[in-house]
Amino acid sequence: MRQPKVFLFDEPLSNLDAALRVNMRLELMQLHERLAATIVYVTHDQTEAMTMADKIVVLNGGTIEQVGTPLDFYARPANVFVAGFIGSPKMNMLPVRVLSANADGVAVALPDGSSLVVPVEAGALAQNSELLLGIRPEHIRIADAGQFKGEAVLAERLGGLTILHAEIGEKTRLVVQTEGIDTTPLHSPIAMQADPSRCHLFAADGKALAPLRKTA
């Protein structure tokens, strides 16, 4: 009996319904552990990529965008394309403008008129440069006061978590994921707080600005 050292799976679960897909994903993970073989697994499903992979390679039109572990992709996406691939709901992408840049990071003007200092390397950024601010919905919390102020317009209450949609500024929507059942009334004012260290800034070319190096 043959015992191959490498397997190639090309979207093997794509035609299955949701429940069977979950079961088969677990079966494949157990198979991988039992065989101790290398598996090259092609998928467009981020859940499969995040839960099954030791290392992920994200391709975009034949170009490798990033190589790393699942947690690398989640915590430090290399660019806007990768940031949009990992995470559900997707990472919020807000247009912002550079106010200043120094050793503490980059201060940006937010769509609702407030500001935020993101601890990233400024490089050669000029004042008033246009960037994208990326924040994952689960890294935003509802607070009495926060960097973001807007109006709650839609709520997806799923029992274990709530996905809240808020409008901030003009034609800008922020998605917030909270644990449990959130009771924020729709069409009411809402304030939201984000941890700057969990925020990302992307330059005009789509590349992420590097986080500040921690000094002893």
Cα–Cα separations (whole angstroms), residue 31 to 25, 26, 129, 208: 10, 9, 50, 36
Asked, for residue 212, whether it belongs to a domain, the answer is no
Domain end point (choices 85, 114, 140): 85
Residues 67, 122, single domain; the answer is: no
Domain end point (choices 38, 64, 85): 85
**Tally of domains within the chain:** 2
pLDDT at 1: 57
Q: What is the CATH number of the domain that holds 62?
A: 3.40.50.300
Residues 61, 99, single domain; the answer is: no
Give the single-character DSSP code of 139.
Answer: G
For the segment 42-81, what is each residue's pLDDT rounded down to a tens digit?
Answer: 999 999 999 999 999 999 999 999 999 999 999 999 999 9
Asked, for residue 213, whether it belongs to a domain, the answer is no
C-alpha 159/C-alpha 113 separation (Å) is 33
Residue for token pair 């430090």:
76
Q: Identify whether the C-beta of residue 126 lies closer than 8 Å to the C-beta of residue 139.
A: no
Domain end point (choices 63, 85, 107): 85
The whole model's pTM is what? Answer: 0.87
Per-residue pLDDT in tens (0 to 9) along the chain, 216 residues: 578 889 999 999 989 998 999 999 999 999 999 988 999 999 999 999 999 999 999 999 999 999 999 999 999 999 999 999 888 899 999 999 999 998 889 999 998 888 999 999 988 888 899 999 999 999 999 988 878 899 999 999 998 999 999 998 777 899 999 988 888 899 999 999 999 999 999 999 999 999 987 665
Domain of 32? 6-85
Residues 62, 97, single domain; the answer is: no
